[in-house]
Structures are given as structure tokens and as C-alpha cells.
Amino acid sequence: ENHILTGLALHGKTCLITAGPTYEPIDPVRFIGNHSSGKMGFEIAKAMVNQGAKVILVSGPSHETIDSKYVERIDVMSAAQMFDTVKKRFASCDIAIAAAAVADYTPVHVADQKIKKKKENLVLELKKTTDILKYMGDHKKSQFVVGFALETQNELANAKEKLARKNADFMVLNSLNDKGAGFKKETNKITIIHNNGDLNEFELKSKSAVANDIVHQIIQRTA
Ligand code: CTP
Ligand code: CA
């Protein structure tokens, strides 16, 4: 036990964070993925540790690294693997943050051999993945649950609908409208929508500064 840390706001708390993209297998050599870098989730993990928390970081494929004895990193590939890990760990956490860009759909069949290019047109059948954030919202006891919303239209209305549907405590709305925000960028412009009706709008800033803002909102709501 590091006694220097015992005075920090989140000392003694365990935080589960999902991060990165997921890769949904098509055959042994192919997948459906997305451009999430994982940076936001990793920055939140660092900010959580800086406030004294222990972190379980469940990450899809990402080049991000984190070096802290307070972070247990669990690497996964697919949405199903991410969900399995979250299901095992969620009950033992105090705070959960869904920062991953989870695939919404996954192939119904995974070919056991490499698909050969025989057909002129190929149709892949996809099925919905489990909504991991909604699972956490629906199963929370004392946990504080945070989600993200990425919208390209009706931002606020859509984010509020997600907050309610997923039973989160607050949602972080990522604005794509501003130059310099979003995937593969170093900055984000966020609005936090709380389930108590509060709304906090933040300036465009670095992802590490955004992570600090998010963590401070969690500290205020859970104090
Ligand atoms: N999320 C999740 N599991 C999924 C899909 C999404 O945990 N299978 C989480 C994301 O990590 C994020 C939040 O749900 O915290 C919202 O993700 P988003 O893609 O914005 O919303 P969806 O509910 O997937 O709706 P849509 O993509 O249709 O806007
Ligand atoms: Ca989605």
C-alpha cells in the first residue's frame, strides 16, 4: 500500500474501462474493424490512477501503452470477448467507463478457412453485438456508469436518448462538428450530460485534459 496515495479522491476505488476498437472476425485472416485509436480510454485510465484508483483496462487492438502497477490491462479482440471480460469484472468495480468503439454488428458465420474470391458479389450476414454499456447500466448496484456518444446529427437529443436507454449516470458527447475533434485526433470537444439533468459544456482540448475533466465530474458525482 502506497500511503502517499491514500489521500487521493479515488483511493480504494476500482474502475473498469473499455477502450479501443473491436475486430470482428470474418475468416482466419480478415475482420471488420474501425479507426478508434484507444487514446481516450487510455488517457482516462491514467487520469483515474492519478486520482488514486485501481484500473481494469479492457482494450481492443490498440498501439497505446500504459505503464502503471495500478492498471491491469486485459487485451481482447472482438465485441464478444470484450463483453465476456466485462461480465466477469463488472460486479467488483465501483466505477465503469465505456470508452470503447464497440462494433455494433458482427458476422453471423466465421469461415474456418480463408474465403476465396469465387463470387462476383459477396454478401456478409451480420448480427447485432451485445451492448456492453447497457449491460452495465442494467446490472449496476452501487456502480457509477459512464458512457460515450458519438453523433453526427441531433447530437444532444440522441445523446440524451442513449443516456436513458443505457441507464448510465452520465454520457460524454463527442462533438465531431469542430475541427480537430474525434477519431485519430489529439483533441476532443465534449459535453457531459448527467442523469440528474445537469449539462457541462467544455472547450476543445487535448485528450488528456478531456480525461481529467471526465474524472473530475465522476469525483464530484460520487463524493
Ligand atoms: N457501446 C457498448 N457496446 C456496444 C455498442 C456501444 O458498450 N455493443 C457503448 C460505447 O462504448 C459508448 C456507448 O455505448 O460508450 C455509445 O456508443 P455509440 O456507438 O455512440 O451508440 P450505439 O448505442 O452503438 O448507437 P449508434 O451507433 O446506433 O448511434
Ligand atoms: Ca455504435
Residue type, 3: H
Q: Is 195 labeled as catalytic in the residue annotation?
A: no
Please say whether the beta carbons of 148 and 174 come within 8 A: yes
Residue with cell 471480460: 85
- Kindly give the interhelix angle for 79-89 and 132-139, rounded to the nearest 10 degrees: 20
Contact 132, 118 (CB under 8 A): no
Q: What does the DSSP 8-state code read for residue 167? A: T
- Domains along the chain? 3-113+124-222 (3.40.50.10300)
pLDDT per residue, tens digit, the chain (223 aa), is 455 667 899 999 999 999 999 999 999 999 999 999 999 999 999 999 999 999 999 999 999 999 999 999 999 999 999 999 999 999 999 999 999 999 999 999 999 999 999 999 999 999 999 999 999 999 999 999 999 999 988 999 999 999 999 999 999 999 875 555 656 668 899 999 999 999 999 999 999 999 999 999 999 999 8
Distance 64 CA to ligand 2 centre (A): 22
Q: Tell me which residue of 134, 38, 23 sits closest to 86, measured CA to CA.
A: 134
- Looking from the CA of residue 130, the nearest atom of ligand 1 is 8
ipTM above 0.90, yes or no: yes
Cβ partners under 8 Å of residue 126, min gap 6: 105, 106, 107, 108
Record the pTM.
0.95
Residue 166 annotated as binding site: yes
